[in-house]
Amino acid sequence: MQQQRHSWAEALAVYFKPRMLAMFFLGFSSGLPYALVFSTLTAWLRDYGVSRTAIGFFAWVGITFSFKFVLAPLLDSLPVPFLTRWLGKRRSWMLLSQLGLAGGLLVMAQLNPQLALLPVALASVWVAVCSACQDVVIDAYRIEAMDQEYQGAMAANYVFGYRLAVLVSGAGALLIADQANWAISYASMAAFMGVGIITCLLIAEPDHSRIQQQVDEFQSEWVTRVLGSGKHGRVTEWFVRAVACPFIDFFQRNGRFSLVLLAFISIYLLSDIVLGIMAMPFYLDLGFSLTDIATITKVFGFACTIIGAFLGGALVVRYGIMRPLILGAVLLSAANLLFAYLAHVGPDRVWLAIVISADNIGGGLSNAVFIAYMSSLTNQAYTATQYALFSSLMKLPGKVISGFSGVVVDAEGYAQFFVYSAALGVPAILMATFLWWRGRRMEEPDSRPT
């Protein structure tokens, strides 16, 4: 079935729908905490003299984002006392996670890494957990709020808001810290969470009635098949319905090839994630100032990321998903080699701009295409848990491996580290090529006349 074609005027008008605009602000709320427990956090720690090895271990805070699939069934089925009756299933959890994020960032603003490194780590974990919960709910809202034909536009608005938030919590936080201090920086970021809170209170809850009957029938069938007929314990029945059924559906649709798809998802962004944890210490150790880092890697980098995202979307429209997916994997790996060259060049602003433009255009392109790819694998009846599984797996190996990045840098230097991280992208290139070839093979019989 071919997708309906729209004129450029109709396609652009989609972005002015109320829920499209709301998705931009929700994307901002989702993107704001990420840098604050990742690149901005590493800059804060390094600025206070924390060792590179300790900074590397802080990458494990990000492993929290890889367990979204554990949180998703709880957020999908359990009500929030008082709030769910008032706001509905999605908005109640959205508001609760946003309030938790604001509180966690305020706590971090009061801490000194030199004197309280463990409390900083615990507060970072709390922020990461609340952020993961918010991501699960917003991803579910994104897919449920609009029909399938508008999901590409919803994802584009989400990515734009997300990247703008990363700019604010990256460059903005660094500039505030450079001009004032880190306490004011993190307190300001807590105030920016008000964007998501206000949006959550203004939007309407998605209509879940359209697919509820389909979900109930599928779940009832599997409750009977797994637990047998008759009465069952509430906990065991809930587990089958909320936890097992979304995974059963995915494996039922894709068979044994599901394992290949999950493996591909888990390694696609591997080289990019491993590079990211040491990028900020690399800039500082190379001799760039916080202002240089903010203006070139964040502000200029933001523009490059948006260009890459729009380019990725255009390539998907023109060529489908798989060929741009291969291109994205190649660009991610190649960017690491440019970082290795920069390590030899030294603190040259022009070369930094060249490296950042290549890295961020490639990153924006690959992320936009990859979101489209993962969304195409979900069943709308189980969007929250299935998409949470994919988004969790896409970061887990990278977070685990990047925890040792500081050890590699201390032992062999930045240049060799970036060469290693580039090599980690080769399996993703090969698997993306295989999936493209397999897709073409499966389409061939359908293209022949009957």
DSSP-derived secondary structure for 206-218: P--HHHHHHHHHH
The residue behind tokens 């502000």 is 299
Q: Tell me what pLDDT residue 15 has.
A: 65
Distant-in-sequence, close-in-space partners of 177: CB < 8 Å, separation ≥ 6: 43, 44, 47, 184, 185, 290
Give the residue from 45, 113, 63, 51 showing the smallest Cα distance to 407: 51
Mean pLDDT of 63-73: 83
The model's pLDDT over 304-325, given as tens digits with 9 standing for 90+, comes to 988 887 777 667 767 778 888 9
DSSP H or E run through 253: helix 245-254
pLDDT digits (tens, 9 = 90+) for 5-57: 555 455 556 667 788 789 899 999 999 998 898 888 888 888 888 887 878 87
- Give residue for tokens 């888990």: 266
Return the ∠ at Cα 72 (arms to 85 and 431), rounded to 5°.
150
Report the alpha-carbon distance of residue 27 to residue 157 in Å, rounded.
7
* pTM to 2 decimal places: 0.75
Residue 361, pLDDT above cutoff 70? yes
- A 10 A CB-CB count for 434 gives 13
Sign, Cα dihedral of 384, 385, 391, 392: positive
pLDDT of 157 reads 80
Rounded CA-CA distance 29/166 in Å is 10
Helix (H, G, I), strand (E, B) or coil at 289: coil
Longest dimension (CA), the chain: 74
Dihedral sign, Cα of residue 216, residue 219, residue 224, residue 227:
negative
- Domains of the chain with CATH codes: 17-207+256-437 (1.20.1250.20), 209-255 (no CATH)
Buried b (16+ CB within 10 A) or exposed e, 222-259: bbeeeeeeeeeeeeebebbbbbebbbbbbeeeeeeeee
Residue 2's pLDDT band, with cuts at 50, 70 and 90, is very low
DSSP letter at 228 equals -
The answer to whether 310 and 76 are in contact (CB under 8 A) is no
372-388 burial string, b = 16+ CB within 10 Å, else e? bbbbebbbbbbbbbbbb
Distance CA 411, CA 214 (A): 56
CA within 13 Å, CB half, 100: 19
Containing 290, the helix (H) or strand (E) segment is helix 290-292
Give the pLDDT confidence score for residue 156 in this predicted structure: 73
Q: How far is CA 112 from CA 62, 182, 252, in A?
A: 20, 9, 50
The gap from C-alpha 394 to its chain's centroid, in whole angstroms, comes to 8
Greater model confidence, 426 or 245: 426
> Residue 355 belongs to what H/E stretch?
helix 349-376
As given in the structure block, the two tokens for residue 16 are 């002015």
149-171 pLDDT, tens per residue?
566 667 778 888 998 898 899 88
What's the sign of the alpha-carbon dihedral 324, 361, 343, 397? negative
Average pLDDT in the 103-116 region? 90
| Mean pLDDT within 362-387 | 83
Neighbouring C-beta atoms of residue 394, cutoff 10 Å: 24
The tokens of 27 are what? 């994307």
